[in-house]
Amino acid sequence: MSWPPTGTWPGELARAALVGGLFLSLFAVAEGWRWWRKPPVEWTRKLVHFGGGAVAALFPWLFEWPVTVLLIGVVSAVFLTVTRALGWLQSVHGVTRKSEGALLFPVAVYLLFVLSHRQPVFYLISILTLVVADALAAVLGASYGRRTYRVEGQDRRSVEGSAVFLLTAFLAVHLPLLLLTTLGRPESVLISIQVALLLACLEAISLRGADNLFVPLGCLYLLEKMTPKPAVVIGWQLVAQLGCIALVGLIAWRSRLLTFSGGIATALGLYGAFALGGAEWTVAPLLLLVGLMILVWPRGLPVTPRQPTEPPRTDGRYQVVAVFYTSLVPVALYMANNALETMPTGWLPRLPTLLRSVDPMYPLYLGAIAAHLAILLVGHLQAGARAARPGIGVLTRAVAFGAMAVVPVG
Single pTM value for the model: 0.82
- For 97-137, how does the pLDDT look when each residue is reduced to its tens digit (9 = 90+)? 666 666 788 888 899 999 987 789 999 999 999 888 887 88
222 vs 195: CA distance, rounded Å? 7
On whether the CB atoms of residues 276 and 119 are closer than 8 A, the answer is no
**409 Cβ neighbours under 8 A, 6+ residues apart:** 283, 284, 287, 366
**pLDDT single digits (tens) 192-234:** 999 999 999 988 888 777 888 889 999 999 999 999 999 999 9
Each residue's pLDDT, cut to its tens digit, for the chain (410 residues) gives 567 777 778 888 888 999 889 988 888 888 888 888 778 777 788 788 888 888 999 999 889 889 999 999 888 888 888 888 888 877 777 666 666 666 788 888 899 999 987 789 999 999 999 888 887 887 777 777 678 777 776 667 788 888 899 999 999 999 999 999 889 899 999 999 999 999 999 888 887 778 888 899 999 999 999 999 999 999 999 999 999 999 998 888 877 788 888 889 999 999 999 998 888 899 888 888 887 777 766 555 454 444 455 454 545 678 888 888 888 889 999 988 888 877 665 555 555 555 556 788 888 888 888 887 777 777 666 654 544 555 555 556 556 655 555 555 55
DSSP code for 318: B
Q: How far is CA 330 from CA 234, 272, 276, 333, 408, in A?
A: 24, 10, 12, 5, 17
